[in-house]
Structure 1
Amino acid sequence: MAAVDVEDESLLASIFKDRFSPDCNAYLSELSSLRLEQLVREPERLQEDRALILQQTRDLAFRNYQTFIRTANCTELIYRDFSRVEGSVNRLIGKLPGLGERCRGFMKEAEEIGTSRRMNSLTLNRHTEILEILEIPQLMDTCVRNGYYEEALELAAYVKRLERKHSTLPVIQGIVREVRQSTSLMLNQLLQQLRSNSQLPVCLRVIGYLRRMDVFTEAELRVKFLQARGSWLSSILAAVPSDDPYFHITKTMEACRVHLFDVITQYRAIFSDDEDPLPGGQVNEAAIFHGWVVKMVSEFLQTLERDLQRGVGGRLDSLLGQCMYFGLSFSRVGADFRGQLAPMFQRSAAETLRCAVSEALERFQEDMNVYTLISMPSVLGGSIPPQQGPQPGTLQPPLSLLDFTPLACFLNNILSAFNDLRLCCPVGLAEEVSVCLQDAMADVTRQVLLFHRAEESAFSAREKDLFLSFCCSYAEDLLPFINRCLQILFPPNQIALILGVPVSQLHRFGSLGNIDIAAILTPLSFLLPQIEIAPEEIQLPELSSDIDISPELSGLTLETQRQEVETKRQEVETHQQQEEMKQQEVETHQREVETHQQEVETKQQEVELSEETGKSHSEDQDEDFSLE
């Protein structure tokens, strides 16, 4: 069949009119070009396309049902909005008459503005005087930023008088606000000067300005001064390197001693705590200063506590001497804190000893794990004749311990700990040190028992004899020698003198400067021969406090001899530091004398300045300013 021609197309268009679409025309053209078989199958194909399109429509509706719901909701909202718009338009139409009334009111306001313009024209005639007043905030800001505080205070006083006379004028209120901002800036600058390294004349001048500003009470002014100077001192202390605890605490102590005394001198020169309090006053102004000093001392003690916990090595005695000297110098201001130093150094010394004893126990355990009795006795101790009993006043380590390496190394480590403790050994540590060593020796006994249980089945007759000698040397040589060392560190006569009891009654107080050998050896009793311990081994012999045998304790090993040389060198350095501190004290006293002289001169200048200021104020009060 031929394609639909133009006439047929126009005919269809005239029949269907608006319903005839180009798609219909295209389909008719396609339909007219089909063969008979295709025309027969066309209804089926159309049915299938219809079913497919229907299925796709269902799928589309199923997948986008939320969109349809939102579309419906949106349509409803739009309908409501249009309803509101319609209501608003109706209300606008109703308010148009009111708009006309307001327009007429606007015309009246315009007339008033014209009147104001005429007033401004009148004001122009006083332009010069008004301009000077309006430039006061700018002039005030310039004076403050350039440090002309005297002129700034005069301007502030003049503005206060203006405020009292014309407080209702908006322009005066604006000037007052701007001047107050400049005054606040000046206040911050003055306080910032107190937070810097300012000498006494600067501090006197700054406090004088603050008093004239009249923003703080006397008590508040003292607090602000101490806070600012404390902030400056804290910044100096924060700049001290903290890598080495000893260096950090010594430099901190030096900075506190020098600068803190300067701050105290400045405070006492500026403020007087000798005056009687005002009637009805509730603030104890003297307590403000003492509270601040206590706070600074507490911060120093906290720093000292932290550095002691970090460890200062073998220089604990040097640090204690410097701290005691520092505390003694502070007694002049009523802040002697030496009584609080003893517990801190005592804890530090005890902690150092505990760490050293713990390391000695670990090394002893390692030595016992690899120890064998095959190579014993050594050539060092095998040819040494038996020692006689310990003689009073001597402190020689038992040479028989050289036959047993673990015991010798353990004793050497304990003696190293004793040498470190000897530099700073308060009597108050007697019980704590004794308990620490009691526990340590009990651990040593357990290690010996573990070694015996592990190796007993493989012992030969020779090894059994050697192990028995090992235990006897431990019981008869090492333990009594440690007791004698404890007696050197904590003389019984000193402990008895402190407790107020005879030396023979010290055993009633438990472990004070000795260890309980019988309790330590109880687990080893089945291995030791039945030896009756001499009374002098149980009751420690008394040593005279006049005999100094600490050098004998320090010469026990080559390592401790080297430590003694280092200690002597540190003592020399400490002596030099003390000499430098004394020299600095002399310089500080000289500075205090100079400061006192400067204070007298400054007081005189303040008196002269106050007289001049009183004259200028009286002249200013005579002026009368009026603004129309």
Structure 2
Amino acid sequence: MQVIMLGSRSHPASKTIEDDLKVLSVGRLRTERSGLSSHILHLQNEIGDLAFNNYRTYADVGRTAELCKEMFSDMSETMSELKDEVPDLVQNIKQFYSESKKGAAELSTLQKATSSSNPLWDLFTLPNMMEKCIRAGYYDAAYSLTNYGAQLEQQNLTKNPVVRMVVDVLNNARHGLLDELFNKFSGPVDLATGIQVVNNIRKIPSISPTQLRVTILQYRDMYLEKQIIAVMSEPNFLQRAIDIYRECMYETMVLYLAVFPENDFQKRFDMITDPRWEQWRPAPQSVLLQQWALRNLNRLFEHIRLTETKKAVDMNDMVSKLMTFAYSFGRMGLDFRDLVINEFDNIFKTYFSCKVEAATMTLTNDAGVIDFVETSVSSSTAPDDDTVPDVSMEINQWDALCVYGNEILSALNDLRQNLSIIQLNWCVKVLQMSFKSVLLWLDRLMNSQHNEVVMKATSLFIKVFVPFMYKNLQACFAYEKCFRNVFRSAVTKESFESHYSLLNDTLFAQCVHRDVFLEAYHSCQEVLPNEDTITRNITNEPIDLKGDGTTAAQAITTGHDEAGY
């Protein structure tokens, strides 16, 4: 009550409460007191609950603080790690942005490109169009397409990879166009077509005039080689080869001179420079053509030299064809008749030398010992005016010598259709070397036990065989027919006979029994045949060795008759 009273004194509102209490009864006060007690108890309970809840909240706050501490620690570590990755992330984001922008631009370009109204679709058809033009022979249109590709490249439109690809295809097709044009020269081509093809090639700036000339000649070589390979297995290969070379070279030279005329006059002095100094004159454009022609002629002669089966009839036919070939080319400034003569002179010389050498080897090596056959020896009949006298029948006793003589006469008969004065020197030298080998062989045999047989063979060879071969040589190169008509009185008959004698002292120089050979030689010189015997065969008839009517080279002579010689 004191508290209330104190409160009533201090607060004006407490008088109202105090007044209310004064008028209340004791029971009512007790009731109010019990109610207040229950309220106080209830408040105490609530305060306890509140304290408990506050404690629990405090505990939760502690746990939450620990969790937050751990969380913020993890966040701090994570942020520290992210701090190093942020620049890369920023760079990647920027790159992604730029690439996205580029992709958007490409997508826009692609959308424009896929549009049916885009001119790129026409650009894509150019490679196929180029191929069709080349294949169909529309070379002017193909050349226009290559120029269009060059214009695209000059206008810097090749920055676009699509345009760059098309331009590359067109530029590469230019080489295909050149190959297609040049391939025209690897086959038969007429003059009009050749001129048209050359004019189309000249439009392409990537080839120089010299390259054009050289390449045309190279492709003509390819055409020539293909034809030669095609006829190489034929029996008349050499005759066909001459015809092929003549036709191909004639077409090439006519075409070359038509498309590359020699109308450029080069002054010897340049007016700008000092005229006291001589200037080199440029070589004419026909030098390439001449070199090409000479190279092909050398190839033709190489085929002739390498061919193993050459007959006299074939050689005569080849000489005739090649001389006609050379004469026709002389009108174009390429007369190679001297070259033909020199080449076939070497061929005939090699042929004659090999045949005589083979006969000599057969006599001196394969024949072995000298074997004589006993036959009735009779004197030869007197010669007529138009025939060569028959050889003495003594030679028929030595079969190996007959074979040797027949081989030499066969070699001489093979040369009958092409003999000339310039061939006489090497014919005599070849025969002298052969006779020298036989004499050395006889000289070695004189030391054997059959000395009498060897002496008889030596006498037969020097006194009978060599003079007979000399008659036959004079039948081919008669003094009246060859030398008197050419040299008139400059060469006498005596000097002719002494100079072209098949047997002389020098052939016995290396022989051990030189005196024996010289004795037989001098005895032979005392009885020389008369002039009619030596120089009678002016009609150039085949020679008979054994006197039975059979020529020494019957097979060769028969071949001549069948061929019309």
Deviation at 1:312, TM superposition (A): 0.7
- Contact 1:393–1:543 under 8 Å retained in 2: no
How many angstroms does 1:275 deviate by?
4.6
Structure 1 residues 206-244: Cα deviation after superposition (integer angstroms, max 9, x where no partner): 223222333323333233222222221221122222575
* Structure 1: tracts of 5 or more residues without a match: 1-91, 458-463, 573-628
Query: Which of 540, 543, 560 is the aligned partner of 1:553?
Result: 543
Q: CA deviation at 1:535?
A: 5.4
Q: Which moved more, 1:551-560 or 1:436-445?
A: 551-560
Residue in structure 1 matched with residue 144 of structure 2 by the alignment: 154
- Residues matched between the structures, number: 463
**Distance in 2 of aligned mates of 1:230 and 1:187:** 17
Partner of 1:318: 317
Q: How large is the Cα RMSD of the aligned pairs? A: 4.1
CA contact (8 A) 2:442 2:454 kept: no
Partner of 1:176: 167
Q: Would the alpha carbon gap of residues 203 and 476 (structure 1) be closer, same or farther in structure 2, given more than 3 Å must change? A: same
Conserved 8 A contact 1:554-1:564:
no
Take 1:404 and 1:387, find their aligned partners in 2: how far apart are those partners? 20
1:192 Cα offset (Å): 1.8
Deviation string, structure 1 residues 493-519 (Cα, Å, up to 9, x no partner): 6458569943267479x8535332684
Looking at secondary structure, tell me which structure has more helix per residue. Answer: 1
Kindly indicate whether residue 101 of structure 2 is the aligned counterpart of residue 112 of structure 1. yes
Matched AA of 1:403: Q
Contact 1:364 1:410 in 2 (8 A): yes
CA drift of 1:340 comes to 1.3
The one-character-per-residue Cα deviations of 1:389-419 (angstroms, maximum 9, x if unpaired) are 9999744222232233343333233222222
Contact residue 463 and residue 521 of structure 2 kept, 8 A:
no
Per the alignment, residue 566 of structure 1 pairs with: 559
What is the one-letter code of the residue matched to 1:313? Answer: K
SS in 2 for 1:312: coil
Question: What is the CA deviation profile of residues 323-357 of structure 1, one whole-angstrom value per residue up to 9, with x for unaligned ones?
Answer: 22222122122111111122322222222222222
CA displacement at 1:109 relative to structure 2: 1.3
Do residues 426 (structure 1) and 426 (structure 2) align? no
Deviations 1:100-137 (A, max 9, x none): 34313312313422551475256667843332234333
Instruction: Choose from 470, 475, 492 the match for 1:488.
Output: 475
Tell me if the contact between 1:368 and 1:447 (Cα under 8 Å) persists in the aligned partners.
Answer: no
Return the structure number with greater relative CO, CA threshold 8 A, min gap 6: 1
Query: What percent identity do the matched residue pairs reach?
Result: 15
- Of the two, which has the highest radius of gyration? 2
Give the Cα separation in 1 of the matches to 2:533 and 2:393.
24
For residues 400 and 206 of structure 2, the distance between their equivalents in structure 1, rounded to whole angstroms, comes to 75
Residue number in structure 1 paired with 2:288: 288
Q: Distance in 1 between matches of 2:464 and 2:83?
A: 118
**Amino acid of the residue matched to residue 292 of structure 2?**
W
Aligned counterparts of 1:367 and 1:215: Cα–Cα separation in 2: 68
Give the distance between the partners of 1:529 and 1:237, measured in 2 at CA.
56
Question: Following the alignment from structure 1 to structure 2, what is the Cα–Cα distance between the partners of residues 249 and 519?
Answer: 40
Matched, 1:444 2:438: yes
How far 1:491 sits from its partner (Å)? 3.7
Q: Are 1:515 and 2:503 an aligned pair?
A: yes
Gaps of 5+ in 2: 1-80, 273-280
State the 1:252 CA deviation: 0.6
Contact preservation (8 Å) 2:329, 2:335: yes
Indicate the residue corresponding to 2:255 in structure 1.
266
Deviates more, 1:360-369 or 1:218-227: 360-369
CA distance in 1, matches of 2:508, 2:157: 91
Residue from 368, 375, 399 that aligns with 1:378: 375
* Deviation (angstroms), 1:254: 0.6
| 1:361 and 1:440 in contact (8 A); partners too | yes
Alignment of 1:200-211 (within 5 A): 200-211=191-202
Q: What is the DSSP-based 3-state SS (H/G/I as helix, E as strand, rest coil) of the residue aligned with 1:252?
A: helix
Q: 1:214 to 1:330 in 2, by over 3 A?
A: same
Instruction: Report what 1:231 is aligned to.
Output: 222
Taking the TM superposition and a 5 Å limit, the aligned residue runs for 1:479-628 are: 479-492=466-479, 494=482, 501-503=490-492, 506=495, 512=500, 514-516=502-504, 519-520=507-508, 523=513, 525-526=515-516, 532-534=523-525, 537=528, 548-553=538-543, 557-571=550-564
Q: Which residue of 2 aligns with 1:303?
A: 303
Q: Where does 1:70-85 land on structure 2 (aligned, <5 Å)?
A: none
State whether structure 2 residue 119 is matched by structure 1 residue 136.
Answer: no
Question: How much does 1:189 deviate?
Answer: 1.7
| Structure 1 residue 441, shift from structure 2 partner | 1.9
Q: What is the CA distance between 1:169 and its match in structure 2?
A: 3.6
Matched, 1:194 2:185: yes
